[in-house]
A and B are shown apart, each in its own frame.
Chain A
Amino acid sequence: MQVNEYKPLIVAFCCNWCSYAGADLAGNNRLAYPADVKIIRVPCSCRVNPTFILRAFQRGADGVIICGCHPGDCHYTSGNYYTRRRMAALFSMLDFLGIEKERTRLEWVSAAEGAKFAATMNDFVQTVASLGENKRLEDLRCKK
């Protein structure tokens, strides 16, 4: 047994209509994903203001993932298309500042994809764990 194994803190913004239900399905099917993933339910992936993501990092998250309905399937028709542009710009900027690009991710997960949800989270947690603690975006003033 490993003692003091580093466990990253992951924040997952999940759209109510698809990915959040996908997470539910993963739970119902008893598919395991790490408990360190903190899910925040949002009405649509495009509700995620880029400031939310930075705020999560500021308060100690090691990785942030946004999950929404597949393109074309957004409950509000086009929300996730905006999300896609916003996150492309934001993630690219974070990379430009030298912040590890593996700490941010956008995935499309439908309500029927419980297995994909669990697999995505497992993979993301592993990726972030291999990077270690988030130092580059931390803010000691806000870290609890």
Chain B
Amino acid sequence: MQKITREQLIAKASELLSNGTVSQVLGWGKGEFDYDVTPTLFSSAEELENGFVFNDFCGANFSKYLVSKAAKADGKLLVFLKPCDTYSFNQLLTEHRFDREKVYAVGIPCEGMADISKVKAISGDGIASINADGDNLVVTTLYEDAPITIATKDVLAERCINCKSKKHVAYDELMGEEGEVLASNRFDEVARLEAMTADERFAFWQNELSRCIRCNACRDACPACTCEKCVFDNPNSGVENKSPANEFEEKLFHIIRAYHVAGRCTDCGECSRVCPQNIPLHLLNRKFIKDINEFYGEYQAGEEVDSRAPLVNYTTEDLEPGEVFDRGDNNA
């Protein structure tokens, strides 16, 4: 259950619309299902009343939408940001991807968002409605007569279980209380993989990545992926969409996608959230983050505006690629 309510958010948005601070609101809109929340633009209190939602399925990070929507807005655009979203917001500002003057950011507290696939694993398919009730979600389905009650904490998204910060690093106005940067266990799974043999790791990734259907949703949702010309849209790149000839050929896509955001990825977790195949893409991103922290010192993308990303920086004392792992006597 979220601490802040839909009514409070609508009241805030309506107030800012009516006093002229903003001309439009970027918020979560009703989708086809209760869990299918869709980023939506609202221009009036009436539209908000009819279509705005706020529940445990509002995972969408709006930062990336600012790139296209803020430029088009007549006045300022109101955007609601959860703590993790504010890191992406700063990172996009660092990269000059939207005009700060065109945006009015309202930070909102977050209690963690639910992962619908985890809900479905318990309730089964055919979900007719989901409503929050205290610390639980009450789910009705087409196939079960009685509503199913699920503890929200049991179906939290992976990124929320390992939330790195409840602190907002950017906002014009904050609703609720400010949180703190958390000591999360988000690198544990990466470390577990690192401890495996190369063969085991290969098998792990072959199993995960062979499910990829190359829908490109992970790229499309990623706030760090805002290139106007993307390498994956180039039909001559060798990594454009094409039918695979064996089960593991999308690995190149995955290495490149993760590499392109290395040092800039804030670990917001949108890629894993949107993947229809539940591929743990965040592990690739976190591997880069963990490596960068270990090789070049702790760095959190988006923590500050205008910080220099580690892969566009250097010192003369950096370690050699061969020293990254034990290469025996190969590296003189």
Q: Judging by beta carbons under 8 Å apart, are A137 and B251 in contact?
A: yes
Does A81 reach chain B (CB closer than 8 Å)? Answer: yes
Q: Judging by beta carbons under 8 Å apart, are A98 and B259 in contact?
A: no
Does A36 reach chain B (CB closer than 8 Å)? Answer: no
Q: Judging by beta carbons under 8 Å apart, are B330 and A123 in contact?
A: yes
B293-314 to A contact mask, C-beta < 8 Å, 1/0:
0011000000000000011111
CA distance A98 to B201 in the complex (A): 5
Does A34 reach chain B (CB closer than 8 Å)? Answer: no
Give the residue name and chain of the B residue nearest to A84 (CB).
Answer: B318
A94-B255 contact, Cβ under 8 Å, with A81-B314, A82-B312: yes
Within the complex, the shortest CB–CB distance from B214 to chain A, in Å, comes to 12
Q: Judging by beta carbons under 8 Å apart, are B200 and A55 in contact?
A: no
Q: Which residues of B contact A141 (CB under 8 A)?
A: 242, 244-245, 249
| Interfacial residues of chain B within 245-263, with CB under 8 A of chain A in the complex | 245-246, 249, 251-252, 255-256, 258-259, 262-263
Give the residue name and chain of the A residue nearest to B237 (CB).
Answer: A51
Q: Which residues of B contact A106 (CB under 8 A)?
A: 320-322
Q: Judging by beta carbons under 8 Å apart, are A54 and B255 in contact?
A: yes
A54-B246 contact, Cβ under 8 Å, with A89-B288, A92-B325, A93-B287: no
Give the residue name and chain of the B residue nearest to A127 (CB).
Answer: B330
Q: Judging by beta carbons under 8 Å apart, are A71 and B287 in contact?
A: no
Q: Judging by beta carbons under 8 Å apart, are B231 and A51 in contact?
A: yes
Among candidates A84, A89, A105, A142, residue contacting B262 with C-beta atoms closer than 8 Å: A89
Q: Judging by beta carbons under 8 Å apart, are A84 and B320 in contact?
A: yes
Q: Judging by beta carbons under 8 Å apart, are A98 and B252 in contact?
A: no
Q: Judging by beta carbons under 8 Å apart, are A72 and B251 in contact?
A: no
A89-126 to B contact mask, C-beta < 8 Å, 1/0:
11111111111111011100000000000000001000
Give the residue name and chain of the A residue nearest to B204 (CB).
Answer: A98
Among candidates A54, A89, A142, residue contacting B256 with C-beta atoms closer than 8 Å: A54
Among candidates B203, B252, B258, residue contacting A58 with C-beta atoms closer than 8 Å: B252
Among candidates A81, A90, A101, A140, residue contacting B259 with C-beta atoms closer than 8 Å: A90
Does B292 reach chain A (CB closer than 8 Å)? Answer: yes
Within the complex, the shortest CB–CB distance from A55 to chain B, in Å, comes to 6
A92-B291 contact, Cβ under 8 Å, with A55-B238, A98-B202, A98-B205: yes
CA distance A71 to B287 in the complex (A): 26
Q: Which residues of A contact B316 (CB under 8 A)?
A: 71-72, 81
Q: Which residues of B contact A140 (CB under 8 A)?
A: 245-246, 249
Q: Judging by beta carbons under 8 Å apart, are A88 and B327 in contact?
A: no
Does B199 reach chain A (CB closer than 8 Å)? Answer: yes
A95-B310 contact, Cβ under 8 Å, with A54-B256, A81-B316, A106-B320: no
| Interfacial residues of chain A within 51-99, with CB under 8 A of chain B in the complex | 51, 54-55, 58-59, 71-72, 78, 81-82, 84-99
Known: A87-B321, A137-B252. 11 other contacts (CB 8 A): A51-B237, A84-B314, A88-B320, A93-B259, A95-B198, A96-B284, A101-B327, A105-B330, A139-B249, A139-B252, A141-B242
Closest 10 CB pairs of A and B: A98-B202, A98-B201, A81-B314, A140-B245, A87-B321, A88-B321, A98-B198, A106-B321, A91-B321, A92-B324
- B-side residues, CB < 8 A to A, are 190, 193-194, 198-205, 231, 237-239, 242, 244-246, 249, 251-252, 255-256, 258-259, 262-263, 284, 287-288, 291-292, 295-296, 310-316, 318-322, 324-325, 327, 330-331
- 7 CB-based A-B contacts, threshold 8 Å: A54-B252, A59-B238, A85-B296, A98-B200, A101-B325, A106-B320, A140-B246
